[in-house]
Structure 1
Amino acid sequence: MGCLGNILWFIFGGCLSGLSWAFAGLLWCITIVGIPVGMQCFKFAALSFFPFGKEVTYGGGAGSFLLNIIWLIVSGFWLAVESAVIGAILCATIIGIPFGLQQFKLAKLALMPFGSTVY
């Protein structure tokens, strides 16, 4: 079921979310200092393209907290808003609820990506 969900996800909106994460990663990689942040964006772009069957755990320490604050101010807020709005639209229909829940998972990840791991 996860494979079918990922295929449908990619066709009906996952491509947009993944491209948003990849674009944020490209913008971060323009600067030398932002390359580690950009690489993290590319990891989460892969998750955003195919999220079904994957879990995200949150953790980290003081360094992750500081990076999350900078991330939230610069680009995390807009990625979270995008995912939350798409998730709310998808949850308006019964068929779209599983896809909307995946968007909400990505919205939470967009708020605090550093210190989190994907399984």
Structure 2
Amino acid sequence: MQPVSILLNVLWILFGGALMAAGWLIAAVIMAITVIGLPWARAAFNIAVYSLLPFGSRAVRRDELTGQSDLGTGALGLIGNLIWFILAGWWLAIGHVVLAIGYAVTIIGIPFAWAHLKLAGIALWPIGKAIVPA
């Protein structure tokens, strides 16, 4: 990880990133406890990791990463993402966009605004994604 990414991640954690990651982690645990939420627990955990350290990382499709299709990148993943989008994805993305606008008002907050926009993108359609170093 680049020194600038490390610095931005430390600042991100201090200014709210740890709380966001904790929220996503709690959501992942709650989803894992329920039988119905199991398909979305992995996606919520991926978002938790991504929201803890968004700088120097990016979300990619798992089939592009591994070269093999799996349940999350096939038809079941599409159905899961549609259900996620309807039930949770759109309002989580709106929350990230609103926070991004708030951070973008200041020059110092622009990198954090960009991170929120990346999180908004994965919050819309998380199933079948993996977090990799940029």
What is the TM-score with the length of structure 2 in the denominator? 0.80
Aligned to 1:73: 86
Find 1:26's aligned residue among 29, 37, 51: 29
2:8 is the counterpart of 1:5: yes
Query: Which one-letter code corresponds to 1:50 in the other structure?
Result: L
In structure 2, give the amino acid aligned to 1:41. A
> Contact 1:25–1:38 (CA<8 Å) still a contact in 2?
yes
Once the two structures are overlaid, the 10-residue window that deviates more, 82-91 or 68-77, is 68-77
Higher share of residues assigned strand: 2
1:44 and 2:57 are equivalent in the alignment:
no
2:103 aligns with one of 85, 90, 93: 90
What runs of 5+ residues in structure 2 fail to find an aligned partner? 64-72
CA distance in 2: counterparts of 1:90 and 1:75, whole angstroms = 23
CA contact (8 A) 2:17 2:51 kept: yes
**Aligned-pair CA distance for 1:80:** 1.2
- The alignment's C-alpha RMSD in Å is 1.6
Structure 2 residue matching 1:100: 3-state secondary structure: helix
Percent identity over the alignment is 38
Larger Rg over CA atoms: 2
Counterparts in 2 of 1:75 and 1:23: CA distance versus 1, 3 Å: farther
Using the size of structure 1 for normalisation, the TM-score is 0.88
Unaligned runs of 5+ in 1: none
The structure 1 segments of at least 4 consecutive aligned residues displaced by more than 6 Å after TM superposition are none
Alignment: residue pair count: 119
